[in-house]
Amino acid sequence: MTDTTRIGTDIGGTFTDFVVLDPDTGRITLEKRLTTPDDPSRAVVEGIDLLRAARPGLLERAEVLTHGTTLVINALIERTGGTTALLTTEGFEDVLEIRREVRYDAYDLELEFPRPLVPRRLRYGVRERLHASGRELVPVDADQVRALVDGLAADGVESVAICLLHSYAGGDHEREVARIVRERRPDLWVSLSSEVLPEVREYERTSTTVANAYVQPLLAGYLERLRSALDARGFAGNFYVMQSTGGVIPLEVARTFPVRVVESGPAGGVMAAARIGGHAGIDDLLAFDMGGTTAKVAAVVGGQAALTHDYEVARTAHFRPGSGIPVCTPVLDLLEIGTGGGSIAHVDTLGLIKVGPRSAGSVPGPAAYGRGGDRPTVTDADLVLGYLDPDHFLGGEMPLRADLATAAIAALGEPLGLDAVATAHAIREAAEESMVAAARVHLAEMGLEPSRLPVVAYGGAGPVHAVGLARRLGSPRVLVPPAAGVMSALGLILAPATFETSQTYKVKTDRLDLELMDELFRQMEKSAAQLLPDQEGGHVTYTRWADMRYVGQGFEVSVGLPSGEEWPALSADEVTAQFRSAYESRYRRSYDDVAVETMNLRLRATLSGDEALQLRAPDVTGRPLADALKRHRDVHHPEGTSRCPVYDRALLEPGMVIQGPALIQERETTTVLDTGAMATIADLGVISIDVRGE
């Protein structure tokens, strides 16, 4: 082992994954443990201890440990955050329930919305008022605020969200209220909307700030316990947390802005998929991550993963925008589907087999785990069909029970007159159809054609189902990267440190003040740079863009702007023309007779310096493909049963070609090649699969 290493650890719904990367050689070490839902940090520490036992001195030599966690989104969905109070401008205490006054389903007379994270009794009005320009109209009534804060103790409040009217235009009033809160109750966590989301739209800003405050005590305590456990084992490196944008931030910043890690784990996999695609010369692709609990799909276009600022959690209606809690910080635009290896199959009211969204998770897990689960899952179906080796799951560390899987599958199919194999095929088909249907809608909303996008497949179950998914989508190619089963954890190591910030600047483009825009961007650059890790050995680059719209519209289109060194490379007319071009590209039309306005300025600060981190290509020894052939196994394909060759991925070398049907087995996953698929081992050991067999 060299002097330094990097460690990535990602907590999923079923498994917690680990990757150790040696930056000098590109060699990686992998580990996987069942997630411990009662205390997710326990699985992390257990996995680290296993790695330390295999590599003494690992933590002492670790330069960076990056963590991805589902703790924040789980807390928002399961309502396990801290008791939170909201201090808002007097008269605006009910914004969380008034919402946008828009029905996400106009014809549903029993429409349901998520219950607000802060109950009405803990929402307090503060006497103060700002003008929309930021000018003070009514000063903060400090005595009233002190009285409000002193009364919080009786309600057991742990965290306070401060969201005052028009504070996006000026945060002085919020900072004054925060000063009083911290003076009177230094034990409370405090979130300010002028720091969390300094943008117009009162409901979204309030909702996001409340969500930040709600999960802050939970995430902060969790990260502190985890850091203490690592420190006690000799870790002295930098502790980073993956953001929802695919960039990492220091632990201290994650504690301040926990809503930025709401999609922490999945983001790592998407960033790694983009990196793998770039190495293969593919700029546009579909990242497909299928783990034990869910499947995720995300588009990468032009080498960049798409971002969205209109994100919701805890939706009461599946796939219905407006039915959830807005968390309007930047998030990778990915779609999460309740279809994973542990998703439970059932028969619906029409007598059809459906899969998910309920999952067996890690406790009790699929029936095959032998841990008490008796409901049939996708993993059980894959085992019954022969796609999984019961003696090689996790490299043999966790043998699977084929008898229990068969019994669970057979029990589901018996009322339908199906045997275990036929039922398993139906489960697999239902799982893939549900993923494909959701992916098609997601890509169509982005204006993308799935048949033009190669699929990069990863996650423990991703390579098992990738070829079937690609065929149904019409995609011509599948790439299975090295360490596919733990790729989200690998992406944590490869991701750069980034921070995104925003500022409302609402003005018609015929009155744009380019000097003022530049000044606002430079202020944002200064504040963002302070939230990045130590910049020694790297430099910060800034990306600018603006949210723009036609006057009268409700939502915006983002338009890229020149960097500070090039400013002002565009005139106001040219900025307007760029918006019209971007709008037409997205909606296939533009309106030359309608005025245009900017709404928000956005900035991304990226700490460069880790671009040289590379994976290690497998050694080329010239061995024949036959050396990688380990055994044959009966596999039940839809077209019949065959004696299928099983190859050891660790022994495959660039240039080798495998014709399906075949299985390529590794410790964390299995790549399934069906009849007609042809795999070529490419650079870095990537399995490149032509699903047409050409």
The predicted model gives 632-638 an average pLDDT of 92
Residue 326 resides in a domain: no
User: How confident is the model at residue 1, as a pLDDT?
Assistant: 41
| Structural contact between residues 253 and 240, judged by C-beta atoms closer than 8 angstroms | no
Ramachandran bin of 306, using left for φ above 0, alpha for ψ from -120 to 50, beta for the remaining angles:
beta
The residue among 5, 585, 578, 488 whose CA lies nearest residue 237 is 5
* Widest pairwise Cα distance in the chain: 81
Tell me the sheet residues that pair with 16.
11, 33
What one-character DSSP code corresponds to residue 372?
A: S
- Do 202 and 228 lie in one domain? The reply is no
**Confidence grade of residue 618 (pLDDT, cut at 50, 70, 90):** low
- Do 573 and 653 lie in one domain? The reply is no
Residue 280 resides in a domain: no
- Do 207 and 231 lie in one domain? The reply is no
CATH of the domain at 560: 3.30.1490
For residue 540, which phi and psi values (nearest 5 degrees)? -100, 130
Q: Pick the range with the lowest mean pLDDT from 153-167, 225-239, 510-524, 609-623.
A: 609-623
Pinpoint the alpha helices (H) of 451-540: 462-473, 487-494, 514-529
- Do 594 and 506 lie in one domain? The reply is yes
- Do 121 and 183 lie in one domain? The reply is yes
The angle, 0 to 180 degrees and rounded to 10, between the axes of the packed helices 402-413 and 420-445 is 80
Residue 592 resides in a domain: yes
More confident residue, 26 or 12: 12
Residues contacting 639, CB < 8 A, separation 6+: 675
User: How confident is the model at residue 78, as a pLDDT?
Assistant: 85
Q: Answer whether residue 684 shows pLDDT above 90.
A: no
The predicted model gives 651-672 an average pLDDT of 93
Domain boundary among 370, 404, 429: 429
- Do 229 and 213 lie in one domain? The reply is no
CA dist., res. 39 & res. 371, Å (int): 18
- Do 502 and 547 lie in one domain? The reply is yes
- Do 602 and 530 lie in one domain? The reply is yes
Percent of the chain at pLDDT > 70 equals 97
Cα atoms in the 13 Å half-sphere on the side-chain side of 340: 27
CA dist., res. 481 & res. 387, Å (int): 19
Tell me the sheet residues that pair with 192.
162
Domain boundary among 559, 578, 608: 608
The residue among 13, 73, 28, 2 whose CA lies nearest residue 492 is 28
User: How confident is the model at residue 630, as a pLDDT?
Assistant: 94
Domain boundary among 542, 573, 608: 608
- Do 65 and 16 lie in one domain? The reply is yes
- Do 25 and 133 lie in one domain? The reply is no
What one-character DSSP code corresponds to residue 317?
A: S
Q: Answer whether residue 631 shows pLDDT above 80.
A: yes
Pinpoint the alpha helices (H) of 197-260: 202-232, 251-256
CA dist., res. 672 & res. 677, Å (int): 9
Q: Which residue is it, tokens 């394909």? A: 637
Helix (H, G, I), strand (E, B) or coil at 120: helix
CA dist., res. 501 & res. 324, Å (int): 23
Residues contacting 589, CB < 8 A, separation 6+: 583
What one-character DSSP code corresponds to residue 243?
A: -
User: How confident is the model at residue 193, as a pLDDT?
Assistant: 97
CA dist., res. 501 & res. 598, Å (int): 16
Residue 618 resides in a domain: no
User: Domain range spanning residue 685?
Assistant: 625-690
- Do 517 and 602 lie in one domain? The reply is yes
CATH of the domain at 38: 3.30.420.40
Number of domains in the chain: 5
User: How confident is the model at residue 550, as a pLDDT?
Assistant: 96
| Structural contact between residues 339 and 356, judged by C-beta atoms closer than 8 angstroms | yes
Residue 230 resides in a domain: yes
Residue 482 resides in a domain: no
- Residue type at 105? D
Residue 275 resides in a domain: no
CA dist., res. 469 & res. 482, Å (int): 20
- Do 586 and 674 lie in one domain? The reply is no
Between the CA of residue 653 and those of 27, 480, 559, 616, 649, what are the distances in Å?
16, 14, 44, 12, 9
CA dist., res. 72 & res. 214, Å (int): 10
More confident residue, 694 or 312: 312
The predicted model gives 287-311 an average pLDDT of 89
Residues contacting 349, CB < 8 A, separation 6+: none
* Total H helices, total E strands in the chain: 17, 35
The predicted model gives 654-676 an average pLDDT of 93
Q: Pick the range with the lowest mean pLDDT from 421-425, 577-581, 638-642.
A: 638-642
Residues contacting 223, CB < 8 A, separation 6+: 67, 239, 241, 251, 254, 255
Residue 296 resides in a domain: no
Q: Answer whether residue 611 shows pLDDT above 60.
A: no
The predicted model gives 53-59 an average pLDDT of 90
Residue 125 is inside which H or E element, if any?
strand 123-126
**Model pLDDT for residues 303-362, shown as the tens digit of each residue:** 888 888 888 988 888 778 889 999 999 899 888 888 889 999 999 988 999 998 888 887
What one-character DSSP code corresponds to residue 161?
A: E
| Structural contact between residues 137 and 127, judged by C-beta atoms closer than 8 angstroms | no
| Structural contact between residues 592 and 580, judged by C-beta atoms closer than 8 angstroms | yes
Task: Give percent helix, percent strand, percent coil of the chain, each to the nearest 5.
Answer: 35, 25, 35
β-pairing verdict for 629-637 and 640-648: antiparallel
For residue 255, which phi and psi values (nearest 5 degrees)? -65, -35
**Confidence grade of residue 250 (pLDDT, cut at 50, 70, 90):** very high
